[in-house]
Amino acid sequence: AQRVTQPEKLLSVFKGAPVELKCNYSYSGSPELFWYVQYSRQRLQLLLRHISRESIKGFTADLNKGETSFHLKKPFAQEEDSAMYYCALQTGANNLFFGTGTRLTVIP
């Protein structure tokens, strides 16, 4: 069965420090993976997707099929990055499953 695991519920880093939010998945098919972000009092929104290999707001994420991971990284955290981050897996059946989320706090 498909599963998305985000091991860290809370993550705090200082401004300017590197940040990595971990995501591991379990899925027998070919995965499509996403990161979603929810800023305070805003709706959930797409941050990036692995298939486009883009960098949004300085964030990148590489799909590692060997480690079944899709960790989100940013070399220098900013205060405005403080938010709730969700890793998500889309299956071949067109369903979208989420991890439990990681609350990132960037300390000034």
Partner 1 sequence: GAVVSQHPSRVICKSGTSVKIECRSLDFQATTMFWYRQFPKQSLMLMATSNEGSKATYEQGVEKDKFLINHASLTLSTLTVTSAHPEDSSFYICSARDGASLGAFFGQGTRLTVV
> Shortest approach of partner 1 to residue 44 CB, angstroms?
4
Joined tokens for residue 80 = 């405005």
The conformation of residue 56, written as its DSSP 8-state character, comes to: B
**20 forms part of the interface with partner 1 (CB under 8 A):** no
The sheet carrying 60-61 orders its strands as 19-21, 72-74, 60-61
Taking residues 41 to 70 in sequence order and writing x for each that binds partner 1 by CB under 8 A, - otherwise, the string is --xxxx--x-xx------------------
Return the residue of 8, 11, 22, 32 that touches partner 1, per CB under 8 A.
32
CB 98 within 8 A of CB 38: no
**Among 85, 60, 81, CA closest to 16:** 81
- CB of 12: closest distance to partner 1 in angstroms? 17
By CB under 8 A, name the binding residues for partner 1: 32, 34, 36, 43-46, 49, 51-52, 86, 90, 93-101
